[in-house]
Amino acid sequence: MGKVAVGAAVVCAAAVCAAAALVVRHRMKSSGRWARAMAILREFEDKCGTPIGKLRQVADAMTVEMHAGLASEGGSKLKMLISYVDNLPTGDEQGLFYALDLGGTNFRVIRVQLGGKEKRVVKQEFDEVSIPPNLMTGTSEALFDFIAEALAKFVATEGEGFHPAPGRQRELGFTFSFPVWQTSIASGTLIKWTKGFNIEDAVEQDVVGELTKSVEKIGLDMRVTALVNDTIGTLAGGRYHNQDVIAAVILGTGTNAAYVERAHAIPKWHGLLPKSGEMVINMEWGNFRSSHLPLTEYDQALDAESLNPGDQIFEKIISGMYLGDIVRRVLCKMAEEASFFGDVVPPKLKVPFILRTPDMSAMHHDTSPDLRVVGSKLKDILEISNTSLKMRKVVVALCDIVATRGARLSAAGIMGVLKKLGRDTVKEGEKQKSVVALDGGLYEHYTEFRTSMESTLKELLGDEVAEHISVEHSNDGSGIGAALLAASHSQYLEVEES
């Protein structure tokens, strides 16, 4: 019996030792995995670094590219498109004006009654219309007929408080947020479709001409007096409320900037100089690139797999379309190389764009002690359950790295524009204020991004200059801005002035 007992004891002891060894090995393995995951995070953080010196280099590069893009067509990655907007609203505009805002799967029709300096926007109304998917890939005629019908329906509901001037055509500002080669204030040729549209017979056509044909076909007496994009609409809306507005930036799904340039500072402009001496430039700054941009392997992979490799590099590291996906790509590498979420890589983590920037923002702003929002987002979107607090903290840190880089680079871009306009210094005895109008969901809803961008801009400008520069949210520039530009470019202005 004794031998059996001893044997059993030895077997038990061996089993305990083996189990202990397994635990130790598991701990060593998991601490090794953890160390590897942390190394991936730290390396990513280093590569995303935006020290102030680097941001100054980015701002200088932006200014240099702006000069190059204004000097000649194709002279720079920045298109620096001439918008033909040479009269921004002053606040004196009066009358009833319409706007059409087409930039995605919905479009809006808007009307405003303007009452001059005293009354400003007396009344406004809008209606939103969904575009049937078949029209997004059909014919130009079918799409513009559909839009014209919606416009006519909207005009028919003109009620009290809206007063069309007798004997005059209704005038419309058309916000068309697709790449267009502008040929005058009220004409422009479509370069290519984006955002899921693909109507081949509209490419290289004048979009105002296409809309006008459809409007005339149904007997609607309306004329397009301004064709603009959403960034210029934001600039117009900002300037209407504040005459110190000199530039506008959109930070949303995509990103762009527009600003007011002195007409004689545009070497590629060969027309007559406008009476105002000014011209609004649509920078298309999403396409900016520079060797100073802090790009990582994840950004390079995202770009290579995108629909437009090599293009829109600035947009791909600062805008809402992409930030969430950069976070996903880093998490995916942690899962693959450090088994961050266990032995199996969660399949959902391999799906591009499954993690959207609003979800990233919700995780980044999670203040609950157990980071409950982070846990539920990982579970609901990526089907990753049982995450520890330690893991959730890593996810928040990752969101912070990606958002901070984007925000600080956005500030450097704005600094580049201010430098080009000579607004980055204060001259003796000058009290000139400069305001940048901002719009877009990323700026409006992602608080950490916004505060980081604003504090970085102050840091770049320095305290003294920062007192003279402010950033203001210009809500719904693309809608009301287009109506204001229809007013400031009205065909009846000359009649009134004479």
Catalytic center residues: 195, 230
Spatial separation of the C-alpha atoms in residues 225 and 244, rounded to whole Å? 25
As a whole number of angstroms, the distance between CA 425 and CA 100 comes to: 39
Identify residue 10 by its one-letter amino acid code.
V
Q: Which two tokens stand for residue 253?
A: 């799904």
455 CA to centre of own chain: 19
Beta bridge partners of 123: 113
Question: CA separation (Å) from 433 to 132, 178, 426?
Answer: 46, 32, 10
The dihedral of CA 135, 141, 142, 148: what is its sign?
Answer: positive
Amino acid occupying residue 40 = I
Q: What tokens appear for 366 in the block?
A: 């999670």
Reported residue count of the chain is 498
Tokens coding 339:
């088994």
Give the Cα-Cα-Cα angle 453, 458, 462 (nearest 5 degrees).
Answer: 155
CA torsion sign, 66 to 71 to 76 to 79?
Answer: positive
Q: How far apart are CA 388 and CA 241, in angstroms?
A: 49
Tokens of 488: 């400031």
Q: Give CA–CA dist 173/222, Å, rounded.
A: 11
Q: Give CA 349 to chain center in angstroms.
A: 25
* Bridge partners (DSSP) listed for residue 114: 95, 121
Backbone dihedral angles phi then psi of residue 170, each to the nearest 5 degrees: -70, 145
* Contact between residue 286 and residue 230 where contact means Cβ atoms under 8 Å apart: no
Residue 78, judged by CB atoms within 10 A of its CB (0-12, 13-18, 19+), counts as buried
